[in-house]
Structure 1
Amino acid sequence: MQFEEMGNMSGKTLMLLPGTCCDYQTNFGTVITELSEKYHLICVNYDGFDGSDLIFPDIITVTEKIEKYIKDNHGGRLDGAIGSSLGSTFVGQLIMREKVHIDHGIFGSPDLDQSGKVSAYLQSKLVVPLLTSFTKGEKKRNKTKEKLKSFFDMSEETAEKFMQCFSKFNPESIKNEYYTDLLTHLKDDIHVEHTIPHFIYANKMGEKYLKRYKKYFRNPDIREFDMQHEQWLFGDEKYAEPVLKAIDEFMEAKV
């Protein structure tokens, strides 16, 4: 595991938790400068995605390591934590387990998919080979890059960074991350005193995800944005600026 602290060290603490098949450098690379100006950032790379030879074990084992770091280095408390996509699973677990305290849990347009073992196994057998084959061969690589640029309004540079991210990690780590995320369930109607769950709702994902947010958390603070899944992180200021403003408002909200 890798934990790097940076930014405004006198500002509020904000942990950054990246999504599937990503490190924080790629996932938050387009907004980390802006976030660093206001917040004491704690940037996380999971086992298997931290440049080491370790393999990602499972969501709960990694959650326990994150909890230990927060206890050992921040007295068991953070002002905020933001999870990008799969990273939101960790935010949800940190809130639900109550081993540490987070004032503001920020969920970056997650799908919060949950399933049983058979379904998770079948899904991982289908999806993981796709994630690990995007960059095999120049033709497939270029085709995937063009799809990323078109669907998410990505620049050439940002699309290239994500392509590199897909290709540099051990397929076993990717499989374990994807598979165990599906098996790591949240309870319904989670409510922790003095914690506010905030959701960045990308409405182009569809309303079924909005229903999930309301199912798993009691009275969540949901902000709707006209964008695709995590589109604010892909380099276009017209998506990033409104979300960054919302994050500031989240972090200032009274708990």
Structure 2
Amino acid sequence: MKFYQFGNEKNPVIFLFPGTCCHWKINFKKHIPLLQEKFNVIAVSYDGFDETEDTIFVDMITETEKIEAYIKEQFKGNIFAAYGCSLGGSFVSLLVGRKNIHIEHAIIGSSDMDQNGKFIAKIETFIVVKLFYTLIQEGKIPKILQHRIDKAPPEKKEYYNCFMSIFTNNGEGLSFIKKESIRNQFYSDLITPVGEGIDVEGTTIHVFYATKMGKEYEKRYLKHFAKPDISRHDYEHEQLFFQYPEKWYQEILRVCEMK
């Protein structure tokens, strides 16, 4: 696991957690230049997803423990903010709920917060690995996904292409990512409980809720968090983040009360 720092170290600290099977630099390439003007930015690079290491992503708890240890060592266990993109929202939830470190502003992207039993999780993981491995390794979009993109209306096609580019690395692929890391990350996220009714004194949990995902996702947020500050956006999953980084940045400033 690696931690990459940007901006003035004297500024408030914000941690950035990438999404499923994402490389930190590709995930946050449009966002770090914006954030580093006002924040001390720390981008987390998970085990198995960094080209400078020969590591494997083991499971969510192992990664969380490493993140907690780093925050304790470098920031005495307290940070100003954290943003979890998609799967990264699970990490933010775990960090808050475990109470081993403290986050003042815990920001959940439009995370799906999927939870399943081991049997269903294994089936879903098998399907995802079949689709994602070639996509990530070679940067080639599977025909079944490309067909869906081609049939989409123009406004959705732009979103799909923007979203898929983070996995394909603009067609170059990420050949260093092993199938085992993809499998372990997806599977362990599905079977690792993030908790219910999470409520920590001194922590505000902000949720960027993409309403086009469906009402069931808002119900999940209300289940997992006791008093979430929900910001509703008429977008698809992480569309605000990937397609409109400037708007996303303004939302970060707003919820962190820095405008």
Q: What TM-score comes out, normalization by structure 2 length? A: 0.88
CA contact (8 A) 2:140 2:173 kept: no
Q: Partner amino acid for 1:37?
A: E
CA contact (8 A) 1:204 1:226 kept: yes
How many angstroms does 1:137 deviate by?
8.9
Equivalent residue, structure 2, for 1:215: 223
Q: Specify whether residues 59 and 158 from structure 1 end up closer, same or farther in structure 2 by C-alpha distance, changes over 3 A only.
A: closer
- State yes or no: 1:182 paired with 2:190: yes
**What value does the CA root-mean-square deviation take over the aligned residues?**
2.6
* Contact 1:134–1:144, Cα closer than 8 Å, also in 2: no
Deviations 1:196-250 (A, max 9, x none): 000011111111101100111011001011111111232x4xx333322121122
Structure 1 residue runs of 5 or longer lacking an equivalent are none
AA aligned to 1:211 is: K
Other-structure match for 2:4: 4
Does the 8 Å CA contact 1:152/1:231 hold for their aligned counterparts? no
Which residue is 2:70 aligned to?
A: 69
8 A contact 1:131–1:166 mirrored in 2: no
Contact (CA 8 Å) 1:85, 1:110: kept in 2 or not? yes
- The 8 Å contact of residues 145 and 160 in structure 1, kept in 2 or not, is answered as no
After TM superposition, the structure 1 = structure 2 runs for residues 1-255 of structure 1, keeping only pairs within 5 Å, are 1-51=1-51, 52-134=53-135, 140=142, 144=146, 147=149, 151=156, 153-154=158-159, 160-164=165-169, 167-168=174-175, 169-234=177-242, 236=243, 239-252=244-257
Q: Deviations over 1:114-142 (max 9, x none)?
A: 11111111111112211113366968479
Counterparts in 2 of 1:140 and 1:92: CA distance versus 1, 3 Å: closer
Question: Would the alpha carbon gap of residues 189 and 139 (structure 1) be closer, same or farther in structure 2, given more than 3 Å must change?
Answer: closer
Change (3 A) 1:152 1:196: farther
Query: How much has 1:24 moved relative to structure 2?
Result: 1.4
Bigger mean CA offset, 209-218 vs 149-158: 149-158
* Contact map agreement 2:79 2:102 (CA 8 A) in 1: yes
Question: Residue 162 of structure 1: CA displacement?
Answer: 3.1
TM-score, reference length from structure 1: 0.89
Q: Which runs of 4+ in 1 moved over 6 A?
A: 155-158
Q: 1:161-218: CA deviations, max 9, x gaps?
A: 5313864311110000000001111221111000000001111111110110011101
Q: What CA distance in whole angstroms lies between the structure 2 residues aligned with 1:110 and 1:244?
A: 17
C-alpha distance in structure 2 between counterparts of 1:120 and 1:250, whole Å = 34
Distance in 1 (CA, whole Å) between partners of 2:88 and 2:98 is: 16
Range with greater deviation from structure 2 (12-21 or 24-33):
24-33
- Percent identical residues: 40
> Is contact 2:14-2:80 (8 Å) kept?
yes
